[in-house]
Amino acid sequence: MPAEPRAAERRFAPSPAVTIVALLLAALCVRLGFWQWHRGAQRQEAATRFARGAERLLDLDALDPAGVALFQRVRVTGRLDGAHQFLLDNRTHRGRAGYEVVTPLLRAGAPALLVDRGWVP
């Protein structure tokens, strides 16, 4: 009966397939790390744009709505068109189901704008 090798004599010798799988997993983890890093930068940029837009108030009547940045606070004059108001269903707020109220704002000599007037249960 052959003697069992002692612990000091044993060697770790993974097969080539195990080595390739380990290298691929390591490369995947590095790639996911870079993705997470870039995603964090994108989120920070979005937060900066949001904060910048909340700082000042622009008069939308003097501007082209297509040229206004996302999250920019604006002032606009017009008349709310309750006859064409609609509700967006299946919205939740703090765990409660409800509707988002959207109403067109009619402006003189300009296209109507949709105004999100908030959430109702």
What one-character DSSP code corresponds to residue 8?
A: G
DSSP sequence for 31-57: HHHHHHHHHHHHHHHHHHHHHHHHH-E
The verdict on residue 10 lying in a domain is yes
Number of domains forming the structure of the chain: 1
Residues 6+ apart with CB under 8 A from 62: none
Is the pLDDT assigned to residue 1 strictly greater than 60? no
The answer for 109, left when phi > 0, alpha when psi is -120 to 50, beta otherwise, is left
**Structural domain that includes position 24:** 1-56
Model pLDDT, residue 5:
61
Model pLDDT, residue 2:
61
The verdict on residue 14 lying in a domain is yes
Model pLDDT for residues 46-98, shown as the tens digit of each residue: 888 777 766 778 888 777 777 777 777 888 889 999 999 999 888 888 888 99
Average pLDDT over residues 33-50: 92
Tell me which of 62 and 40 has the higher pLDDT: 40
The verdict on residue 71 lying in a domain is no
The verdict on residue 32 lying in a domain is yes
The verdict on residue 28 lying in a domain is yes
The verdict on residue 29 lying in a domain is yes
